[in-house]
Amino acid sequence: MAMRPGTEQKLLDAAEELFFTRGIAATPIDAVLERAGISSATLYRGYASKDSLVAAALGRRHDDWLATWDRAVDRAADDRGRLLAVFDALDAYRSTPSGSRWCAFLGTAAEYVDAPADVRGVLDLETGTLRERLAAVAEPLVGAERAPALADQLLLVVSGYLAMRLRDPGLGTDTARTIAAALI
């Protein structure tokens, strides 16, 4: 029997809230079940392990992040604005309850020395998507040959900004945006 969508939503909400604010290793699965108000039998109807639940929560977060980024790109007036829209998206995502602390993907990567395949797959998907999208919006500005290198530089700037938010939770994207604009 599959998990009902409403139950799965509650479970993923609880997992995301606890795993990505308290830490995955620091959050026992019982805490997630209690927060979601479901039994372990219900959990295991949908997910084979805690790691598969982590992967599902990351997958949902990835989809939410991409939708936020798409909206920022759609609002941009020109090619330069589309490239720098990643920072508008970071600002917008940060204002959501699930995006308030820092990057769940960086946090998850830091917690797993050797991530299980399902978690590693979502982490790789997120990194690859960032790289591909940044290259795609960079291409009209710098050409197809230079776009992948610029995408890697921007990925480093974005990741550095997200990591710095742990040191300074009030840090805005202004410095990261300035560095990115200078790379173009």
Is pLDDT of 1 > 60? no
* pLDDT for position 30: 96
The single-letter DSSP state of residue 113 is: S
Supply the pTM of this predicted model.
0.92
Residue 16: both structure tokens together:
């995301």
Is pLDDT of 95 > 90? no
Instruction: Report the mean per-residue pLDDT for the chain.
Output: 93
- Cα distances from 25 to residues 51, 110, 113, 135, 153, in angstroms, run 10, 11, 12, 34, 31
Query: What is the mean pLDDT of the segment spanning 107-112?
Result: 93
Of 103, 76, 100, 184, nearest to 140 by C-alpha is 184
pLDDT band at 80 (very low <50, low <70, confident <90, very high): very high
Query: What is the mean pLDDT of the segment spanning 64-79?
Result: 97
* Number of helices (H), then strands (E), in the chain: 9, 0
Query: What is the mean pLDDT of the segment spanning 17-26?
Result: 93
